[in-house]
Amino acid sequence: MRCHFSPTGLQGDASNPAQALALWLDSVLRGIGQVLFQNNSYSGLLFVLGVAWHSPVLAAAAVLGCAVATVFAQWLGLQRSVLRQGLGGFNGALVGVALVYFFEPGLLTWVCVLLGAAIAAMLGLALRRVLDGWGLAVLTAPFVLATWLFFLASAGLGRLQPSGLLPAATLPSAAAVEGVVSASTWAQGLGHSWGQVFFQMDIGSGLLLVLGVAIASPSAALIAILGVVAGMATAWVLGAPEPAMRAGLWGFNSLLTALALGHVFLPAQGVKQLPATLYALWGAVVYTLLTAALQAALAPIGLPVMTFPFVLTTWGLLLAWPAAIH
Amino acid sequence: MRCHFSPTGLQGDASNPAQALALWLDSVLRGIGQVLFQNNSYSGLLFVLGVAWHSPVLAAAAVLGCAVATVFAQWLGLQRSVLRQGLGGFNGALVGVALVYFFEPGLLTWVCVLLGAAIAAMLGLALRRVLDGWGLAVLTAPFVLATWLFFLASAGLGRLQPSGLLPAATLPSAAAVEGVVSASTWAQGLGHSWGQVFFQMDIGSGLLLVLGVAIASPSAALIAILGVVAGMATAWVLGAPEPAMRAGLWGFNSLLTALALGHVFLPAQGVKQLPATLYALWGAVVYTLLTAALQAALAPIGLPVMTFPFVLTTWGLLLAWPAAIH
Amino acid sequence: MRCHFSPTGLQGDASNPAQALALWLDSVLRGIGQVLFQNNSYSGLLFVLGVAWHSPVLAAAAVLGCAVATVFAQWLGLQRSVLRQGLGGFNGALVGVALVYFFEPGLLTWVCVLLGAAIAAMLGLALRRVLDGWGLAVLTAPFVLATWLFFLASAGLGRLQPSGLLPAATLPSAAAVEGVVSASTWAQGLGHSWGQVFFQMDIGSGLLLVLGVAIASPSAALIAILGVVAGMATAWVLGAPEPAMRAGLWGFNSLLTALALGHVFLPAQGVKQLPATLYALWGAVVYTLLTAALQAALAPIGLPVMTFPFVLTTWGLLLAWPAAIH
């Protein structure tokens, strides 16, 4: 089948070098789309625009990271069909954004983006082999692990320079309720949760990201919004600090968990939409506790939790589910 | 076969709703019994009495947690035969006790018991799938992980209120020998080790728990006592603090490890009683080192080790064993 | 086949007790040889001499640990063919060296060597079962885990007395570049990296260790030296402290990773020497970041990373590789 436009982006086979390049760029854009589970290069393009709306440099880092990870995964032998869905690159895209966000600008930081994206691609292949036996996807675990590698390494390698946005290492202690949750907390939290997937707190970016998901799948956008609401509501009841709720930090993992369970993995196993969505919303309770727990567990080594609560919650809920359908 | 009394509790099938309810309650009591590896509802009843002897509230928490976990595991599709052995509920029972013990009394703590028991049931199913490939049981890992989740989360969610019994986060440092071990240390330690499984330091409770095991299996009670002796002796030689020995804190994991290896899992593989018991007692050496090691490893995040040394030691020893019988 | 000398040491079957003892000693020496991946008892003998050159006590601890682990692994049923390659003992050898190095001299420390070697043998069998499914070797993971067990336990068991060489528990913070790397840094670092595998900083020891590898396989010695260069170069570029580079602390994990990938595991899968070596050198980048990262991650519990960066890097790179040859 010759190269042509489809509702999800370019499809088919290249018949000349220009088309091969176009298909490769399409794979990179699908990689950006896969950050929010969309195998859709138009979504990917909107996500790039959403990031660029707030910070063109971060958008460039996302595209560069995604491209490098795609190339390295191909070199390590990842199948073409998987690469064409963007699954070789999305962790590299997030590594690029995170390193440029948390490290001082400079040449070495961009070298780290290249290295980090390659490491994420390699970790993706390694984890894929380990998780295959249980039917689990790697999700954003390669991104989180590769990024933590650089953050932690900056404590021993003097030329890696954090930008001061990383949390300082500290011993955890019991929290008090902080601030009062109002309607504006909810409104801003709902808007910011989307951008936080790419380390942004910008409602304009958020709208472009919602739009990117909605053009690929309106129901996915709805499930993601329900996920944010469930995550924020649980966090509210259990006494999460108001400023973090307003910043969207209690919504973005929940957004991803709801998409993963309610839109992607359970429907792929033939589970109906209603039970899949309900189970995904139960996941928000687990995710909220896990986010606070991981924050405390990582406090003595000064690491941000990023999307790891989403990864662990999704793995746990998927592993527990199959019993229900036997 | 119709519902009837057997030496281990109710057996058979329900022919009316009252019998169905009785069988369900029997499963819950067996769940309490499984905390000390007894698929026996009379043992479970004695364990409830043993906990209630010291604290009726903790006993209620154990029963509630066990009931909720049993229901949730059933909803997630755990097979009826497994549920009827109490294996769906025992982790929930321990979650109930631990949360009521370590959190301030109040409505939210009881809500956490419900959530925590459900999370433990879900983790039990998830871990079961992961561990099945190596022929390992989940033991009390779901309880430990679910409880740690709440303990850690209290550092970020202001409405979760620890009762002050959790260890404060601190950096570990080398220990000196503390106190002098005497005959009364040994006597009290042997008595308290039983109750510590349920977070109690009460010899009356201990006697009811021993009795509960002994009516199901006198040899199991003997193996458990040998386990406590081996654990306390190793701890003594290596210089564990005397007050903790007296409190039974160096005996309860060893008790569980000895039961697991010497009474349950190795005999189930056809291993004779003598080598199984000797291997279980070697486990006490490993467990003692591991308890001190985990205490230090968890110090910076302020977590108690609970029964995790037992879980890891039992897994390790079972994984290493099969080579010996090939 | 009767017992006889071969280019790698004794071979064949014993026809009298003296030969049986000689073969057993040959297995122990091969165990020392396996620390640097040499199934060769002459290499093992040179390694013992290399350690003894700097410290006869550490050499004795290595031989004792290796012997105890070999016996315990045999008792647990490890196959004779595996034992004869020295694979039952090498982790025990390293446990012996590490405990005598990091703990105060005394009877209890030597008891710990016996216990630690036995625990390492048991962990070796347990990990072997877990890792078999992914085709991974246990490497030195049993040594690292068994040794950490004792180091951490010394925080709770007063009779375990660290010698003051263990790092104090501390919270990590961002590093500055320390010292200026010169030609003498490189020369000493290259020489010290070998001895650091056995906790030594002695160029005489290093030369004996290189010789021990080279008599078994000159190409292995070359790959190991390339590995040290790659590791030190990456550490230099990223700003590792000069004193640690000079001490060989940024070379010994890289040495082991290069040997593991370039000399042992990838060639065993039929990979040609050039791609295997290039992939091994890419591993040095990962290993260098991982060493700094693990140092920071373990800082709050005061543990040295020892050879764990080598273990994790080798596992990760091997898991990611197979895709490349499908």
Q: What percent of chain A has pLDDT over 70?
A: 98
Q: Which chain B residues are within 8 Å of A297, Cβ to Cβ?
A: 152, 301
Q: What is the model's pLDDT at position A323?
A: 53
Q: Which chain B residues are within 8 Å of A315, Cβ to Cβ?
A: 126
For residue B26, give the nearest of B38, B39, B46, B9 by alpha carbon.
Answer: B9
Mean pLDDT of chain A: 93
Q: Please tell me which of the candidates A77, A122, A155 has its beta carbon nearest to residue C175.
A: A155
Contact: B289, C158; criterion CB under 8 Å? no
> How close B276 gets to chain A, by Cα (Å)?
32
User: Do the beta carbons of residue B101 and residue B199 sit within 8 Å?
Assistant: yes
Would you state the structure tokens that stand for residue A271, as one six-digit string? 């589970």
Q: Please tell me which of the candidates B129, B156, B170 has its beta carbon nearest to residue A295.
A: B156
For residue B264, give the nearest of B277, B252, B245 by alpha carbon.
Answer: B277
Residue A98's CB: how many other CB atoms inside 10 A? 28
DSSP assigned state of A6: E
Strands B4-6 and A4-6, by their bridges, are unpaired
Beta-carbon pairs below 8 A across chains B and C: 116
Q: Which chain B residues are within 8 Å of C149, Cβ to Cβ?
A: 289-290, 293
Contact: C149, B293; criterion CB under 8 Å? yes
User: Do the beta carbons of residue C229 and residue C190 sit within 8 Å?
Assistant: yes
* Interface with C, mutate which of B281, B319, B326 (most C CBs under 10 A): B319
Question: Got the DSSP string for B41-87?
Answer: HHHHHHHHHHHHHH-HHHHHHHHHHHHHHHHHHHHTT--HHHHHTTT
What dihedral angle (degrees, nearest 10) is formed by the CA atoms of C110, C111, C115, C120?
Answer: 0
- What angle (nearest 5°) sits at the alpha carbon of residue B44, between those of residues B40 and B50? 145
Provide the residue type at C288 as one letter: T
Residue C132, C-beta contacts closer than 8 angstroms, at least 6 positions apart: none
Calpha distance A285→A233 (Å, rounded): 9
Show the DSSP H helices in chain A as ranges: 17-34, 41-54, 56-75, 80-84, 90-102, 107-132, 141-153, 183-196, 203-216, 218-238, 242-246, 252-258, 266-268, 273-298, 308-320
Calpha distance A131→C257 (Å, rounded): 24
Select the CATH number that applies to the domain covering C7-157 from these four: 3.60.15.10, 1.10.3430.10, 3.40.50.1950, 1.10.287.130. 1.10.3430.10
DSSP H or E stretch at residue C318: helix C308-320
Residue A223, C-beta contacts closer than 8 angstroms, at least 6 positions apart: A258, A259, A262, A263, A277, A280
Mean pLDDT of chain B: 93
Radius of gyration of chain C (CA): 19
Q: What is the model's pLDDT at position B325?
A: 45
Q: What is the model's pLDDT at position C322?
A: 67
For residue B140, give the nearest of B124, B119, B117, B153 by alpha carbon.
Answer: B124
- Residue C79, CB-side half-sphere exposure with 13 Å CA sphere: 5
The mean pLDDT of B6-28, rounded to a whole number, is: 92
- pLDDT band of residue B235 (cuts 50, 70, 90) is very high
The mean pLDDT of B254-264, rounded to a whole number, is: 94
Q: What is the model's pLDDT at position A326?
A: 40
> How close C73 gets to chain B, by Cα (Å)?
9
Would you state the structure tokens that stand for residue B276, as one six-digit string? 């199984």
The mean pLDDT of C267-273, rounded to a whole number, is: 89
User: Do the beta carbons of residue A95 and residue A138 sit within 8 Å?
Assistant: no
Which residues partner with A13 through β-bridges?
A2
> How close C185 gets to chain B, by Cα (Å)?
33
- pLDDT band of residue C41 (cuts 50, 70, 90) is very high
CATH 1.10.3430.10 residue ranges for chain A: 7-157, 180-320
Q: What is the model's pLDDT at position C325?
A: 45
- What angle (nearest 5°) sits at the alpha carbon of residue B84, between those of residues B81 and B90? 120
DSSP assigned state of C105: S
Q: Please tell me which of the candidates A155, A160, A171 has its beta carbon nearest to residue C173.
A: A155
Per-residue pLDDT of C297-310, as tens digits, reads 999 999 999 999 99
DSSP H or E stretch at residue C82: helix C80-84
Contact: B175, C157; criterion CB under 8 Å? yes
User: Do the beta carbons of residue B236 and residue B80 sit within 8 Å?
Assistant: no
Q: Which chain A residues are within 8 Å of C288, Cβ to Cβ?
A: 157
- pLDDT band of residue B322 (cuts 50, 70, 90) is low
Please report, for residues B237, B262, B284, the alpha-carbon distance to residue B317 in angstroms, rounded to integers and kept in the order given: 22, 11, 11
Q: Please tell me which of the candidates B172, B237, B286 has its beta carbon nearest to residue C155.
A: B172
Please check whether residue C291 touches A, CB under 8 A. yes
Please report, for residues A234, A292, B255, the alpha-carbon distance to residue B145 in angstroms, rounded to integers and kept in the order given: 20, 14, 20
Contact: B299, C301; criterion CB under 8 Å? yes
The mean pLDDT of B216-223, rounded to a whole number, is: 95
* Interface with B, mutate which of C150, C157, C159, C301 (most B CBs under 10 A): C157
Q: What is the model's pLDDT at position A322?
A: 67
Contact: C172, A162; criterion CB under 8 Å? no
Please check whether residue B177 touches C, CB under 8 A. yes
Contact: A241, B129; criterion CB under 8 Å? no
The mean pLDDT of A3-28, rounded to a whole number, is: 92
Per-residue pLDDT of A124-148, as tens digits, reads 999 999 998 899 999 999 999 999 9
pLDDT at C326 over 70: no
User: Do the beta carbons of residue B229 and residue B128 sit within 8 Å?
Assistant: no
Please check whether residue A115 touches C, CB under 8 A. yes
Please check whether residue C1 touches A, CB under 8 A. no
Backbone angles phi, psi at A248, to 5 degrees: 85, 5
Per-residue pLDDT of B182-194, as tens digits, reads 999 999 999 999 9
Per-residue pLDDT of B55-98, as tens digits, reads 999 999 999 999 999 999 999 889 999 999 999 999 999 999 99
Per-residue pLDDT of A190-213, as tens digits, reads 999 999 999 988 999 999 999 999
For tokens 């405990």, the residue is C99
Q: Please tell me which of the candidates A119, A125, A158 has its beta carbon nearest to residue C176.
A: A158
Per-residue pLDDT of C149-195, as tens digits, reads 999 999 999 999 998 899 999 999 888 888 999 999 999 999 999 99
Residue A171, C-beta contacts closer than 8 angstroms, at least 6 positions apart: A299, A300, B169, B170, B171, B300, B301, B302, C171
Which residues partner with A103 through β-bridges?
A162
Q: What is the model's pLDDT at position A325?
A: 45
Calpha distance A201→A248 (Å, rounded): 7
Please check whether residue C158 touches B, CB under 8 A. yes
Per-residue pLDDT of A159-187, as tens digits, reads 999 988 999 999 998 888 889 999 999 99
Radius of gyration of chain A (CA): 19
Mean pLDDT of chain C: 93
- Residue A55, CB-side half-sphere exposure with 13 Å CA sphere: 18
Q: What is the model's pLDDT at position B1?
A: 72
Beta-carbon pairs below 8 A across chains A and B: 119
Radius of gyration of chain B (CA): 19
Strand extents, DSSP E, chain B: 4-6, 9-11
Return the CATH class of domain C180-320. Answer: mainly alpha
Q: Which chain B residues are within 8 Å of A175, Cβ to Cβ?
A: 154-158
Please check whether residue B292 touches C, CB under 8 A. yes
B103: nearest CA partner in chain A? A174
C297: nearest CA partner in chain A? A301
pLDDT at B326 over 50: no
- pLDDT band of residue C285 (cuts 50, 70, 90) is confident
DSSP assigned state of B103: B
Would you state the structure tokens that stand for residue A116, as one six-digit string? 């980090």
The set of long-range contacts for B274-279, using a CB threshold of 8 Å and a minimum separation of 24, is: B277/B223, B277/B226, B279/B317, B279/B321
What b/e sequence results for C18-34 when a residue is b if at least 16 CB atoms lie within 10 Å of its CB, and e otherwise? ebeeebbbbbbbbbbbb
